[in-house]
Amino acid sequence: MPIVEIKGVGFFDAKESENLLTLMRRHGVTLPAGCGGLGLCGMCRVRVVRGTLTAPTRREIEILADRLEEGWRLACQAQVISDTTLEIPAARREATKARVRPPVRITPSALFVPVKVESGEPSYEEELISSLRTLGVHATQLSLSALNSLAQRSSGVAVIVEGEVLDVCDTYSGYGLAIDVGTTSVAASLVDLVSGAITVERVSLNAQLKYGSDIISRIRYALQEPEGTARLQQAVIETVNRLLEEMGARAEKVYRVVVAGNSVMLHLFFGVNPRTLGFLPFRPLYRRQMRARGRDLGLAVHPDAHVVSLPILGGYVGGDVVGDILSADLSGYDKAMLIDVGTNGEIVLKKGDAYLAASTPAGPAFEGVGLHSGMMAVEGAIEKVRVLGAREIEYLTIGGTEAKGICGSGYVDLLAELLKAGTLSRDGRLLDGPHVKEVRGVKAFVLDEERGIVLTQLDVRKLQLAVAAVKFTAKYLMKVSGVNVESLEAIVVAGDFGYHLNPQNAMEIGLLPKVDESMIRYIGNGSLTGAEMYMLSDEARKMAEVLLAKCRVLDVPREERDFISELKLSW
């Protein structure tokens, strides 16, 4: 089989009669292709420096014309015959992204196809649909705004999402918005629908925080205030709109939105009262993928944008966990565990083909909320701590700037280091020692006196409860399915704080079982990554359906005696 070298990118095997675009997608090399590989938009052009390809197609001759002689080809049309060297124009190569997304087979999630209506026969819509059909593009109707575009113009680029022409516009460009709605923070990223690349990503506190910091207080607010559900919905929509603004998104070019989030967050995002999640048996009103239009929700995106959610698996195991599972890609393991440490913690255990899941109200401690010096994992947050002997304390902040507070991974380090230094007992008492003082009447470990950054006894209790909740739930799932720590092949840690986590310290405090460090993987915000995958890949969408049908969600019986025994800071 011939080898294709893409300059500055790498060497790749070609399959028989595989065109260049398919080859690049198979290897995760992103290249824009607005029309989905039909040879219509000319965006996937590459320059051949060396080698033999199949003869130019009619589409290539039409679109490239003179440039064919200079070696330009359309990647979607040309097939490799001999070893070949290519150049991709620098401007077309996408920046690599910060978060790890497992290799997904990108299926066109929006098509951009040039169209022209002439006769308007028997209606403009029908002529457009039928001209798309002759190009091999399936669409059944035009959205309201596409109809209104067509009232003003007779040609342009049709933007097609899920078989609907959403827009008729000027440019071969469009974006998808992936959102992870957490109880405490909301993360979002903009995906270039042409290339599949992530262009920008932001995180912000959820404006719902003004109605209470945990899920229960949100449910209570929705129940007790007449417009409670609507106000909570408005708060999260405002948060997302602010993120869109910060990311510099042009509203009218955002055609798809995929939302992940826990069960309560998803109910509220779509304006569904989360009441049933507040009472026994704690079941969601719905589990399926919800669908809406941009305008229905007041999102600053295209008014007809398709907004969909990841399904809820059951109870408090929501679309965020579906996202985690998609991005954790557990398919290669027989026995593996996924842990998402959020305000609502979730554990998934895979055993063979079976998925078992449960949730636990861990509280927002590891998101830095409710702790004396706690903060989100953003610039200025202390993410790593070392206590050297009696006197010296070393810490690192995110971005290397002046310390403003402590984020989740910093707290994990701090607890572990204090345990090892003997300043903290396994049952969570701060002992007398260097840097331990009374701060406004409460015992506290002073990390940075000048900046007032401390760990109080109360902080330790909150962190201890969060660790116990996760540990208790993980142990329960393992017990039910007869899987022990020794037989686990992998532990995947989801959640933003995983990035900066010191695995030895996480094991030290009992947040993770003691295993070989190489078994532990961090996927960061798997919920957001999963939302992106769901937007880009048919396979991911199918997997989500499989999980909805097959993943078993367990209620964890909270025997008080057992739970209290898990408060000890070790596995």
Binding site for a second copy (CB under 8 A): 119-126, 141-142, 144, 147-148, 150-152, 229, 270-276, 281, 283-288, 296, 312, 314, 553
Q: Render the burial of 33-55: b for 16+ CB within 10 Å, e for the rest.
A: bbbbbbbbbbbbbbebeebebee
- Residue placing its CB nearer to a second copy in the complex, 282 or 563: 282
Minimum separation from the CB atom of position 337 to a second copy (A) = 23
* C-alpha to C-alpha distance for 86 and 104, rounded to whole angstroms: 23
Minimum separation from the CB atom of position 147 to a second copy (A) = 5
- Residue placing its CB nearer to a second copy in the complex, 269 or 411: 269
Q: Which helix (H) or strand (E) holds 5?
A: strand 3-6
- Residue placing its CB nearer to a second copy in the complex, 145 or 239: 145
Minimum separation from the CB atom of position 487 to a second copy (A) = 29
Minimum separation from the CB atom of position 316 to a second copy (A) = 12
Residue 178 forms beta bridges with which residues? Answer: 189, 258
Minimum separation from the CB atom of position 549 to a second copy (A) = 10
Q: Is 86:48 a contact under the CB 8 Å cutoff?
A: yes
Minimum separation from the CB atom of position 228 to a second copy (A) = 11
In three state form, how does the secondary structure of 211-242 look? HCCCHHHHHHHHHHCCCHHHHHHHHHHHHHHH
Taking 3-state DSSP, the helix, strand and coil percentages for the chain, each rounded to the nearest 5, stand at 35, 25, 40
* C-alpha to C-alpha distance for 142 and 571, rounded to whole angstroms: 57
- Residue placing its CB nearer to a second copy in the complex, 286 or 333: 286
- Residue placing its CB nearer to a second copy in the complex, 311 or 495: 311
- Residue placing its CB nearer to a second copy in the complex, 293 or 443: 293
* C-alpha to C-alpha distance for 402 and 162, rounded to whole angstroms: 48
- Residue placing its CB nearer to a second copy in the complex, 303 or 361: 303
Minimum separation from the CB atom of position 173 to a second copy (A) = 24
- Residue placing its CB nearer to a second copy in the complex, 389 or 557: 557
- Kindly report the backbone phi and psi dihedral angles of residue 174, in degrees, each rounded to the nearest multiple of 5, phi listed first: -175, 155
Q: Which amino acid is at 144?
A: L
Minimum separation from the CB atom of position 102 to a second copy (A) = 28
Angle of helix 457-481 relative to helix 408-421, nearest 10 degrees, comes to: 100
Hey, is 251 helix, strand or coil?
Answer: helix
Could you tell me where the DSSP H helices lie in 482-513?
Answer: 503-508
Angstrom CA distances, 70 to 39, 41, 44, 63, stand at 18, 19, 16, 14
Minimum separation from the CB atom of position 479 to a second copy (A) = 22
Residue 436 forms beta bridges with which residues? Answer: 445
- Residue placing its CB nearer to a second copy in the complex, 156 or 284: 284
Minimum separation from the CB atom of position 293 to a second copy (A) = 9
- Residue placing its CB nearer to a second copy in the complex, 77 or 233: 233
Q: Is 274:219 a contact under the CB 8 Å cutoff?
A: yes
Q: Which amino acid is at 147?
A: L
CB atoms within 10 A of CB 59: 16
Hey, is 479 helix, strand or coil?
Answer: helix
Q: Which residue has the tokens 């993770």?
A: 512
